[in-house]
Chains A and B, each alone.
Chain A
Amino acid sequence: MAVLERVNPPVTTAARPRAAARRDRWLRRLPLLPALIYTIVVTQIPFLVTLWYSFQSYFWDTPGGAHWTGLSNYKTVFTNPNFRSALWRSVIMTVSAVIVAMLLGIAFAVLLDRKFFGRGVVRTLIITPFLIMPAAAALIWAGPMLDPNFGLLNYLLTPFGIHHEAWLSSHALGSVIVVMIWQWTPFMTLIVLAGLQSQPNDVLEAARVDGASALAIFRRITMPLLRPYIELGILLGSVYLVNVFDAVRLMTNGGPGTSTTNLPFYLYEEVNNAFDVGGAAAAGVVTVVITIIVATFALRMFARVFQFEGTS
């Protein structure tokens, strides 16, 4: 896949005259500058404003505007059990969705790697969930699929004695995770399939000639070759799923109670229900710090994936 392209080391310019080198560097940076400025305007300035508000007491439902409160918003964030449980729920949702989606993805990819009649159609069908807008998918699941009175799932399960099950009440967290898995399995399938199809045929053939069983080939040759692809899938999946909002907002609205409130939804609620701009800003800053720590860790893994790819 294109994402795994080899990265060439930059051409060294030390030998050339300094002015020319500088000009050269600028020429190379120039096309990047609009994007850089745009990124700063839309991400860094809002972050600085958030940082500023995180030290303010500012409630939209109280007249008088904002005033300085020092660290008290941060104290509230760290002592607030709701923040901790939202953080924990984010971890559960992301980890379970990514792992199950990856396992299913591997299974589908292995099946799709075989030649059979109608493979193109099947592959397109399997990819479809990933092409649907997350908001539309969440609404379809919440309404036509899982509705306790009119839902398709209950209709299909009626012969098995299950009817009028209110999935979004009784199994809210599970339902949301299932939808996340449903949307992200195709992505995992695609990545793993790319890995499977890049396997060198001669190696597989040699193994077969040597009398290796299909299971042994899969375990000893295919899996090690797939590792970087699986790691990449897990990394990208986690990056996207950790900030899932659409499914939570549209399927359960964080409830019942707070049983599906993850971190993004918690932040949203702090502003939109509690009108606590300062508290939400502080929680946002803490989230960013945690994300940076996790992202640094993940990026290091990313670098290893590239390295692996470069040396193989």
Chain B
Amino acid sequence: MRPSSVRLRMLGAVACAAALVVAAAACASSNSSGSATSSNSDSGTVTVAVVSNPLITGQMIPLTESVFEKQNPGIHVKFATYTEGDLRAAIQKDVSTHSNAFNVIMIGPYEAPLFAKDGWLTNLSTQYIAGDAGYDASDLLPPIAKSLSYQGDLYAVPFYGESSMMYYNKSLLAKAGITMPQHPTWTQIAGFAAKLNQPGKVAGICLRGLAGWGDNMASLDTVVNTFGGEWFNMNWAPQLTSPAFEKATNFYVNLVRADGEAGASADSFNQLLTLYGQGKCAMWYDSTVAATSIATTYPSVYAQTGYAFAPTDLTQSSGWLWSWSFGIPQGTANSGAAWKFVSWATSKQYDSLVASKYGWSAVPPGSRTSLYSNPDYQKAAAPFASITLASIDGTDPDHPTVSQVPYVGVQFVDIPQFENLGVEVGQQIAGAIAGTESVSQALRTSQGDASQYTPSELSG
């Protein structure tokens, strides 16, 4: 090799090395500037990661701009809107790597205790609520507040809370000669669905099929629980192929395949809300919060809508427990301003603000006791207010199913591994709903997915 070309290569190598150093320095400087701006400042930009549900995109985001930012001129709120699955991924990435791109994150009873245990969340009780006399945290619904707490302190506060219940179209049921009981059983529901189903026109029952632990698995888990199934037994051995789990899954999959909406494996809350709102579902089993959206968006269907408790089999009640809540990641910038936003969006004043703009029936439900004793709300939301409250009060995340289980959570298992496991099982169930595989095949694969963790890993 000629000396000149050797020198040239060396030069090239030096150039590459220089580029590396520059890039590394760029990373390093961005890191240090990130931590330098970390402060408790009461002003500045607050970036909020939220789920794209109607109550958030249709009410909270516009109200933040038109009211909150006017009242707090020093604070600018930016929203990052995601679907449920994408939100989880974005938040998990953000808090575990401490990148702190979000000053406020929207989480639920699954994340709050786990993140708190890992030291990823700010203790709201001691940091802010104790010194904020106007906030009135004792007014939060007890089951919701408990599910967002870790060692007795709140790590997230609810924007809205929900259980699950059955919606039905009163005129369609009357035409078919069906009377819906207040507390139906799944066997009754399956009978009704078969009678009500008009293929191509109206689905007998609309059920979630989209893969995701917060999507199809939320609905299916409540069925599994009331059929006596469980994710793990007391020794943390996976139970996905147990007779009860299999019976419940077969029931759910057969029901949605026979009398459910077409293309169910792509449907979750938002899709089903549209279908139900257009009168294409005779019955719909989903979140209690849907009532608020039906009331505000589909008035003609709302007038025909009846409500029943989540159907049961072996247990007394079977509704799930969830709330979309705000937490503040540990060590985030502008945390003072972040709390100002969080306390505003979860306050009683926010409820009256929504009521003045959109009417009382549009107020985010299921988070505060005072809302349910408010005569205006009782009147405006009369058809669904009391059943929502009773459904939330009827949940017991410590005892979700017939036998004792080692985990907490109705429609989830509150362990870190469930984030992945729940999605994997959800995909298998979606496959079974779409008909690409059988239920027993889907559950065998799921059992295998669950068996990759040892009991000691699972019990933490």
Does A45 sit at the interface, judged by CB under 8 A?
Answer: yes
A255→B265 contact, CB < 8 A:
yes
Does B241 sit at the interface, judged by CB under 8 A?
Answer: no
B332 to chain A, nearest CB (A): 17
Give the number of residue pairs across the A-B interface with Cβ within 8 Å.
Answer: 115
A164→B431 contact, CB < 8 A:
no
Which residue in A45, A167, A258, A272 is a CB contact (below 8 Å) of B427?
Answer: A258
B194 to chain A, nearest CB (A): 17
Does A195 sit at the interface, judged by CB under 8 A?
Answer: no
Does A212 sit at the interface, judged by CB under 8 A?
Answer: no
B262→A255 contact, CB < 8 A:
no
- Chain B, 275-289, CB within 8 A of any chain A CB: 275, 280
Interface size on A, residues (CB 8 A): 38
A256→B431 contact, CB < 8 A:
yes
Chain B binding site: helix, strand, loop or mixed by DSSP? helix
A169→B433 contact, CB < 8 A:
yes
Does B406 sit at the interface, judged by CB under 8 A?
Answer: no
Does B428 sit at the interface, judged by CB under 8 A?
Answer: yes
Which residue in B93, B97, B118, B427 is a CB contact (below 8 Å) of A254?
Answer: B427
Chain A binding site: helix, strand, loop or mixed by DSSP? loop
Interface size on B, residues (CB 8 A): 46
Does A136 sit at the interface, judged by CB under 8 A?
Answer: no
* Residue interface bits A150-181, CB-to-B below 8 A is 1, else 0: 00000000000001111111101000000000
B4→A257 contact, CB < 8 A:
no
User: Using Cβ atoms and an 8 Å threshold, which residues of chain B touch A96?
Assistant: none
The docked-state distance in angstroms from the alpha carbon of A170 to that of B437 is 11
User: Using Cβ atoms and an 8 Å threshold, which residues of chain A touch B92?
Assistant: 60-61, 275
Closest to A253 in B: B211
Closest to A259 in B: B436
User: Using Cβ atoms and an 8 Å threshold, which residues of chain A touch B176?
Assistant: none
The docked-state distance in angstroms from the alpha carbon of A22 to that of B2 is 12
Closest to B199 in A: A164
User: Using Cβ atoms and an 8 Å threshold, which residues of chain B touch A276?
Assistant: 420
The docked-state distance in angstroms from the alpha carbon of A98 to that of B161 is 49
Does A107 sit at the interface, judged by CB under 8 A?
Answer: no
B86 to chain A, nearest CB (A): 8
Asked if A257 meets B430 with Cβ closer than 8 Å, knowing A41-B23, A273-B89, the reply is yes
- Chain A, 13-58, CB within 8 A of any chain B CB: 18, 21-22, 25, 33, 37, 40-41, 45
Which residue in B263, B280, B432 is a CB contact (below 8 Å) of A168?
Answer: B263
- Chain A, 237-272, CB within 8 A of any chain B CB: 252-259, 272
- Chain B, 90-144, CB within 8 A of any chain A CB: 92-93, 96-97, 118-120
Which residue in B15, B19, B263 is a CB contact (below 8 Å) of A169?
Answer: B263
Closest to A154 in B: B262
User: Using Cβ atoms and an 8 Å threshold, which residues of chain B touch A169?
Assistant: 263-266, 433-435
A272→B89 contact, CB < 8 A:
yes
B435→A41 contact, CB < 8 A:
no
Does A103 sit at the interface, judged by CB under 8 A?
Answer: no
The docked-state distance in angstroms from the alpha carbon of A33 to that of B417 is 47
Does B261 sit at the interface, judged by CB under 8 A?
Answer: yes
User: Using Cβ atoms and an 8 Å threshold, which residues of chain A touch B416?
Assistant: 61-62
For A33, A164, A257, A272, the residue with the greatest tally of chain B CB atoms inside 10 Å of its CB is: A257
Kindly list 12 other residue pairs between chains A and B, CB separation below 8 angstroms, not including A45-B23, A255-B431, A256-B211. A18-B4, A33-B15, A60-B93, A63-B118, A148-B263, A149-B275, A164-B263, A255-B434, A272-B89, A273-B419, A274-B420, A275-B419
Q: Give A contacts to B, CB under 8 Å.
A: 18, 21-22, 25, 33, 37, 40-41, 45, 60-63, 147-149, 163-170, 172, 252-259, 272-276
The 7 A-B residue pairs with the shortest CB-CB distance, nearest first, are A257-B431, A166-B263, A256-B434, A148-B263, A148-B262, A169-B434, A164-B262
- 14 of the cross-chain contacts (CB-CB < 8 Å) are A37-B19, A148-B263, A163-B200, A167-B263, A254-B427, A256-B211, A256-B430, A257-B427, A257-B431, A259-B436, A273-B85, A273-B423, A273-B424, A275-B92
